[in-house]
Amino acid sequence: MTQVLYGERLGREGKLRVGCSAVLFDAKREKALLTRRADNGRWCIPGGGLEAGESVEEACIREVWEETGLRARVKRLIGVYSDPDQLVIYNDGNKAFFVVLSFEVEVTGGDLGLSDETTEYGYFSLAEMDSMPMHGRHKDRVMDALLGQAEALIQ
């Protein structure tokens, strides 16, 4: 099971990875799409690691497609997130420290469905997220997206 650990400067133990995440809202911008991860059962916004030879925009769009079956278009950069006190430990023992670019995206096509990486999906309000087991600080990224700031946050 993939674990996310928090502690003083734990991130120094992991390899540096760049990730992208996507916040997709419903038509009223009241709820965000979350998927339940197959590896740890926690809820998250779609996202994952950047692959060699792709842009961050391409990675974001690919991850949305792989995890949800939806085609998307990047609208704006919400923020750049790094936490030196967070360490991700994978099932195989690999450790990673992530710098994540989070984008607001809009759906352009496809059909919402499950993948090898997801066991459930749905649109949820911030209040509903309070009672859900969330992966990392994904709720914070949804809250930041709702701020609607023109400039990206750096955290």
- At residue 116's C-alpha, the angle toward residues 110 and 121, to 5°, is 60
| Whether 35 contacts 41, CB under 8 Å | no
Task: Report the SS3 class of residue 85.
Answer: coil
If one counts every other C-beta atom within 10 angstroms of the C-beta of residue 5, the result is 14
Is 120 labeled as catalytic in the residue annotation?
Answer: yes
| Nearest in space to 47 (alpha carbons), one of 69, 63, 71, 66 | 63
Catalytic residue among 51, 54, 106, 120: 120
Catalytic residue numbers?
120
